[in-house]
Amino acid sequence: MQASAMKALVPLADGFEELEAVTIIDVLRRAGVAVTVAALGDSPVRGSHAIRLEADASFDAVQGEVFDAVVLPGGPAAQRLRDDERVKAVVRRLAGEGRLVAAVCAAPIALEAAGVLAGKRATVYPGNLLPSAEQVEERVVVDGSIITSRGPGTALEFALALVEKLAGRAKAAEVARAMLAAY
């Protein structure tokens, strides 16, 4: 499938980690993936370092849309994502359909709460636990249609892994080359 036909949902809650969110959104869009940034609450959404991002839509407004991926940025907002029944429902639905479900930093705790990490290899920001997963300390972990990563310092590697899964290795390499990124 062409990357341009791919659609990704990036939910944002107050307290999101800006470096992760912007890197995910930017790199996926560079690859031709249609990214919808959806605010769980009001927009603009305030990040953990007081940077505000204007969402494309409210989370409720996009519930009926079909997405190829849901990608969760971390930061203190990870707890809000974990506790939001709408987020867990989307994560479960996409995972059940074999679509890409991904989270970085502390946000894999939302995947854990949604029940999609059982028996999967996954990673998370230090100090967080994923009891149903085989928790490892790798920078980026791909296990089938689940991708997890450790934190802001791994955001670019994580985003390129998303591109590879959605658009192929050649597209990920092309995007990385254009940004002068290691890949």
The answer to whether residue 30 is domain-embedded is yes
The answer to whether residue 15 is domain-embedded is yes
The answer to whether residue 142 is domain-embedded is yes
Question: Is the per-residue pLDDT at 3 higher than 80?
Answer: no
The answer to whether residue 183 is domain-embedded is no
Domain count, the chain: 1
Q: Residues 156-179: what's their mean pLDDT?
A: 98
Task: Determine the pLDDT at residue 4.
Answer: 52
- The CATH number assigned to the domain holding 137 equals 3.40.50.880
pLDDT tens per residue, range 40-49: 999 999 999 9
The answer to whether residue 120 is domain-embedded is yes
Q: Is 3 a catalytic residue?
A: no
Q: Residues 81-97: what's their mean pLDDT?
A: 98
Of 78, 105, 111, 166, the active-site residue reads 105
The answer to whether residue 17 is domain-embedded is yes
Question: Is the per-residue pLDDT at 1 higher than 60?
Answer: no
Question: What range does the domain containing 59 cover?
Answer: 3-178
The answer to whether residue 125 is domain-embedded is yes
Question: Is the per-residue pLDDT at 120 higher than 80?
Answer: yes
Q: Residues 81-91: what's their mean pLDDT?
A: 98
Task: Determine the pLDDT at residue 5.
Answer: 83
This model's pTM is above 0.85: yes
Residues in a beta bridge with 46: 52
What's the CA gap between 153 and 88, in Å, rounded? 26
